[in-house]
Amino acid sequence: MCKHILNAQVSIRSPCCRQWFDCAQCHADAQTHTLKQAMEMTFACKKCKKCFRKDMNEFDESDEYCPHCDNHFVIEAVEPKARLEVEGEDVRKDARMLKDERVKAKEGFSIWEDEGEASRLG
Ligand SMILES: [Zn+2]
Ligand SMILES: [Zn+2]
Ligand SMILES: [Zn+2]
Q: Cα–Cα distance between 53 and 61 in angstroms, integer?
A: 15
Distance in Å, CA 4 to ligand 1 centroid: 17
Q: Cα–Cα distance between 40 and 19 in angstroms, integer?
A: 15
Distance in Å, CA 7 to ligand 3 centroid: 14
Neighbours of ion ligand 2 (CB under 5 A): 2, 4, 22-23, 25-26
Within-domain flag for 52: yes
35 and 28 in contact (C-beta within 8 Å)?
A: yes
What local confidence, expressed as pLDDT, does residue 14 receive? 95
Among the bound ligands, the one closest to the CA of 47: 3
What local confidence, expressed as pLDDT, does residue 71 receive? 96
Q: Cα–Cα distance between 75 and 4 in angstroms, integer?
A: 14
Within-domain flag for 100: yes
CB neighbours of residue 10 within 10 Å: 22
pTM: 0.63
What does pLDDT average to over the chain? 79
Distance in Å, CA 88 to ligand 1 centroid: 34
Q: Cα–Cα distance between 26 and 12 in angstroms, integer?
A: 10
| pLDDT above 60: residue 72 | yes
Kindly give the residue spans of alpha helices, DSSP state H, lying in the chain.
24-30, 80-111, 113-121
Within-domain flag for 46: yes
pLDDT tens readout for residues 24-67 = 999 999 999 999 989 999 999 999 999 999 999 999 999 999 99
- Residue 47 sits in which domain range? 10-64
Q: Domains in the chain: how many in total?
A: 2
| pLDDT above 60: residue 69 | yes
Confidence label for 86 from pLDDT (cuts 50, 70 and 90): very low
